Amino acid sequence: MNTKEIIIWTSEPDYEEYRTVMEEDMPYAGEEERKAWFFAANERCLAFQQSEMKQQLGMPILILKEEEDGWYQGAGIIESGDLADCFALPNDRKGSCTWLLDLRGDLCLRIADGAEEQRYIYRLQRPDLSPCGFLSAESFGTSVRLHRSELAACTLRVGDAVARVYGLELPPDPQAGISLKWTAGRGAAAAPK
């Protein structure tokens, strides 16, 4: 079972970790040539990861930005519902990008720029929640703000699909047994089944 974050791909792999292997594999090359080959191979690895992840999840994928104290803000949607599209590098990124499976089993994109870090998670709307209109593809946007307990009650982890590709076992989603209780004026509230 997963007891730590599992890195799927990073834009800034640690060359020092592979230095000895690179020197053995490319003794004829200088240090700069080995580094250039190493980072080019890493970019090819991203393309390979995308081809491995090519599978339709059957509904749009929600992208949520992690905020403080367990809150998540709507940040975008992948209309195609294709798992591989989760691994597209953001056009406006500054800093390094790392896709990983976090300790909760979520597929997460971490963008780090110096001391500042942003985290995004990828989720699917639970198909058994047809009245959950505030998460529909048509209405989803930056106005959606959910707490972790609400998020887990009305969405599914995309990380489970990634884990199946790699044959990994993830911990169960801690909120999977929670259903939504509809309350007047507030929308959905997490309530035990």
Q: What is the pLDDT of residues 128-156, one digit of tens each?
A: 665 444 555 555 556 678 888 887 778 88
The predicted-structure confidence for 30-73, as pLDDT tens digits, reads as follows 999 999 999 899 888 888 888 888 999 988 899 999 998 889 98
The pLDDT value recorded for residue 161 is 92
Helix axes 15-25, 31-52, angle to 10 degrees: 110
Distances (CA, A) of 18 to 21, 23, 33, 46, 76: 5, 9, 14, 18, 36
pLDDT at position 136: 54
As given in the structure block, the two tokens for residue 82 are 């294709």
Chain mean pLDDT for the chain: 79
Confidence grade of residue 120 (pLDDT, cut at 50, 70, 90): very high
Q: What is the rounded distance in angstroms from the CA atom of residue 151 to the CA atom of residue 124?
A: 10
Handedness of CA 18, 38, 9, 71 (dihedral sign): positive
pLDDT at 1 over 60: no
Candidate ranges 2-6, 65-69, 172-176; pick with highest mean pLDDT: 65-69
pTM of the model as a whole: 0.78
Position 67, amino acid: E
Q: For residue 182, what pLDDT is reported? A: 32
